[in-house]
Amino acid sequence: MKTKIMRVLAAFVAVFALHACSLESVPDPNAIGVGSVAANASKAQLNDLVTAQYSLARNSLATYLQVVGTLGKELFNFNSTESRWMTELNGLRPIDNSAFYNGATTGFGLPVRQANIILASVEKTALVTDAEKAAYRGVANTFKGLAYLYMLNVQYQNGVRLNVENPFKPSKPASYAESLAGIAGFLDAGATQLDAAGATFPFSVPTGFASFNTPALFKQFNRAIALRVAIYQQDWAKANTLIAQTFINETGSLTAGPAHSFNPASPDFGNPLLNTASVTIVGLNEIFDVIEPGDARLAKVTTTGGPFNYTSGTNVTTKYKANLYLTNTQPVTIIKNEELILIKAEIAAQQAVPNFTEVKRLLDIIRVANGLPTLTLPTTKSQAIDAILKERLYSLWYEGHRWVDMRRYDKIAQIALPPTTPVMKVLVQLERPVQEVNWDASNP
């Protein structure tokens, strides 16, 4: 009996002793961690990060273009499962700082963070050359500026937080003017870094950037975004300097420019701007009914399958459905030659003594290319601006400009509204997302 007891107890104690050994920690079996690039990142690691930076430039693209397009009443999202696109974004119901469409602001946080991670990693590595470092920095700062610019377009007078390196100590939102200046600063820093980046990039670029695959060529893209910032700042002198540094080509393809590439096979994803079973992007009658006869840009929409009706929460009908994107792999141009030519016309109109001949010459490039007669020479600055805004409406349709353009020329009230009861309103900006408000409320 006693032996039996002692044996069982001995086994019990033995198991117990085994048990008291230390447990092994479990490393993440599914992925590498953010910490792996914090110090002495290799060239391969930095290349991975910078490729994702190109990828992240597509973050929130559809939400942004569709929200901003809806706000500017150039397009509507006839979404069969979500009526808030039509009601809340069109001022028919209170705007909601907690709803899905705040992704048009918040979706640009991650590309900014990616850029900051690259900048920090480059700072703490000795495994790449100084020229390579300059290339990584230049690309990161360019995309950082672009992401901030989208964010600011939606937030407008609310401004953006220009310093978010420490996500737990972000800066307070800057004023609109300070925000623009800050964005210009990121872009200008990027341009300087690209100048120091040597002749080639240390990484391969995605197909959409094939024509912008060296530091010098990429800088033309950087300067084009900086040009947008400059005209928002109404710094026409700076704009005039910048325009020459972009890829503007008055005789080249109007659609030339760096583009987002898409592929539906994971880990990539397909073009998010396609119409789907439940998302029907439509152009408004108020825009396409009044397009000049023969304008080739009418092909951006189709009347096939129309008319298109929306009856949830409000009643809207239109003849035109978006026809810009038809395949999953179709690229989306970030900024195109056509926009640069239109900006060049705008610079000419904004000179102390407006150069109307130049405005007409540049707008005619666009008009003739689209099958329209040339323009009557404008005689006043206001005529010239209206002519530019009209060409911008059709040339840059579904590219997120109409609302911003009408806002910067204080013409929000002139935006044509569809006939609904009650009448829609054009919001000037979206509210700050509720998480942003809550953060500042508890971190004064």
Partner 1 sequence: MKRIVLLVLLFAALVNTGLYAQERLVTGKVTGADGAGLPGVNVTLKGTSTGTITDVEGAFSVNATGSDPELIFSFVGYTTQSVKVGNSTTLAITMTEDISTLQEVVVSGLATNVKRANLANAVSTISARDLVGTTSPVTTDGAFQGKVAGANIQSNGSMPGGGFNMQFRGVSTLGSSASQPLFIVDGVYIDNSQNSNGRSQANKATGGSAASAQDNNANRLADLNPDDIENIEILKGASAAAIYGTRANAGVVIITTKRGKGGKTKISFGQDIGGSSALAFYGGADWTPQKLTDWFSASDIPALNAAKANGTYTDWEKEIFGGTGSIKNTRLSVTGGDQKTKFYINGSIADETGIIKNTGFQRYSIRANIDHKITNWLDIGISSNFVNTNNDRGWAGNDNTNINYGYSLPYTRPYYNLFPDAQGNYPNNPVGENPLAIRDKAVNNQKINRFFQGFNINAYLIQNEKTTLAVKLNGGLDYQNGYALIWLPTELQSQQGEPNKGYAQDTRNEVIKYNVQASAVLTHNAMDNKLALTSSLGFVQLGTTARSNYIRGKGLSAGVSNPARASVFEQDVFLENSTDQGMFFQQEANYEDKFIASIGVRFDRTTLLADQNKWYGFPRGSLATNIHKLVTLPDFVSQLKLRAAYGQTAGLPAFGSLYSPLAVVGVGGRSGVQPGTFLANANIKPETATEFEYGVDFGLFNNRVTAEVTLYNKKVFDLIQPLTTAPTTGVTSTNSNAVDLTNTGMEVSIGAEVVKNSKISWFVQPIFWFNRSEITRLEIPERLTGGFGATFGQWRIKNGLSPTQIVGQPRTDPANPTSWTVYGDQQPKYEFSLNQRITFLKNFEFSALFHYRHEFTVVSLARVLWDEGGNTSDWNSKSLGRGSDGKIATDPANVVENGIARQNVNGLGSDGKPAEGYNPVVTSFLKLREVSLYYRVPGARLQKIFGGAIEGVRIGVSGNNILRWTDYTAGYDPENSNFGSSALGSGVDIGSIPAVRRYMFHIAIDF
Site for partner 1 in 379-398 (CB under 8 A): none
**Contacts of residue 265, Cβ cutoff 8 Å, sequence gap at least 6:** none
When asked if residue 218 is in the footprint of partner 1 (CB under 8 A), the reply is: no
Q: Which stretch binds partner 1 (CB under 8 A): 81-89, 190-198, 372-380, 406-414?
A: 81-89
Which residues, numbered 6-45, are part of the site for partner 1 (CB under 8 A)?
A: 6, 8-9, 12-13, 15-16, 19-20, 22-26, 28-37, 45
**Contacts of residue 316, Cβ cutoff 8 Å, sequence gap at least 6:** 76, 78, 86, 309, 310, 418, 420
Pick one of 129, 276, 374, 382: the residue that binds partner 1 (CB under 8 A).
276
When asked if residue 373 is in the footprint of partner 1 (CB under 8 A), the reply is: no
Q: Which stretch binds partner 1 (CB under 8 A): 213-221, 232-240, 271-279, 338-346?
A: 271-279
Residue closer to partner 1, measured from CB, 133 or 432:
432
Residue closer to partner 1, measured from CB, 164 or 369:
164
Pick one of 40, 80, 253, 380: the residue that binds partner 1 (CB under 8 A).
80
When asked if residue 429 is in the footprint of partner 1 (CB under 8 A), the reply is: no
**Contacts of residue 379, Cβ cutoff 8 Å, sequence gap at least 6:** 356
Torsion sign across C-alpha atoms 177, 180, 184, 186: positive
When asked if residue 312 is in the footprint of partner 1 (CB under 8 A), the reply is: yes
Helix (H, G, I), strand (E, B) or coil at 322: strand
Compute the least distance from the CB of residue 151 to partner 1, in Å: 6
Total binding residues toward partner 1, as defined by CB under 8 A: 118
Tokens of 246: 């972009």
Residue closer to partner 1, measured from CB, 203 or 394:
203
> Which amino acid makes up residue 162?
L
- Count other C-beta atoms under 10 Å from residue 274's C-beta: 17
> Which amino acid makes up residue 260?
H
Counting Cα atoms < 13 Å in the Cβ hemisphere of 369 gives 19
Are 349 and 161 in contact, with CB atoms under 8 Å apart? no
Site string for partner 1, 315-344 (x = CB under 8 A): x-x---------xx----------------
Site string for partner 1, 231-270 (x = CB under 8 A): -----------------------------xx-xxxxxx-x
When asked if residue 304 is in the footprint of partner 1 (CB under 8 A), the reply is: no
Compute the least distance from the CB of residue 317 to partner 1, in Å: 7
Q: Which stretch binds partner 1 (CB under 8 A): 48-56, 174-182, 230-238, 359-367?
A: 48-56
Are 286 and 362 in contact, with CB atoms under 8 Å apart? no
When asked if residue 217 is in the footprint of partner 1 (CB under 8 A), the reply is: no
When asked if residue 216 is in the footprint of partner 1 (CB under 8 A), the reply is: no
Helix (H, G, I), strand (E, B) or coil at 282: strand
Q: Using CA atoms, how far apart are residues 424 and 271, in angstroms rounded to an integer? A: 30
Compute the least distance from the CB of residue 204 to partner 1, in Å: 6
When asked if residue 204 is in the footprint of partner 1 (CB under 8 A), the reply is: yes
Q: Which stretch binds partner 1 (CB under 8 A): 88-96, 131-139, 211-219, 341-349?
A: 88-96
When asked if residue 50 is in the footprint of partner 1 (CB under 8 A), the reply is: yes
When asked if residue 213 is in the footprint of partner 1 (CB under 8 A), the reply is: no
Residue closer to partner 1, measured from CB, 9 or 244:
9
- Count other C-beta atoms under 10 Å from residue 294's C-beta: 10
Residue closer to partner 1, measured from CB, 373 or 419:
419
Secondary structure (DSSP) of 75-110: EEEEETT-GGGTTTTTTSS---TTSGGGHHHHTTHH
Residue closer to partner 1, measured from CB, 302 or 312:
312
Backbone angles phi, psi at 144, to 5 degrees: -65, -45
DSSP β-bridge partners for residue 174? none
Are 152 and 176 in contact, with CB atoms under 8 Å apart? yes
Backbone angles phi, psi at 97, to 5 degrees: -75, 5
Pick one of 128, 174, 205, 389: the residue that binds partner 1 (CB under 8 A).
205
Compute the least distance from the CB of residue 210 to partner 1, in Å: 9
Are 285 and 418 in contact, with CB atoms under 8 Å apart? yes
In 3D space, the residue among 193, 270, 190, 198 whose CA is nearest the CA of residue 223 turns out to be 190
Tokens of 5: 């007891």
When asked if residue 55 is in the footprint of partner 1 (CB under 8 A), the reply is: yes
Are 56 and 48 in contact, with CB atoms under 8 Å apart? no
Which residues, numbered 129-188, are part of the site for partner 1 (CB under 8 A)?
A: 151, 160-161, 164, 167-168, 170
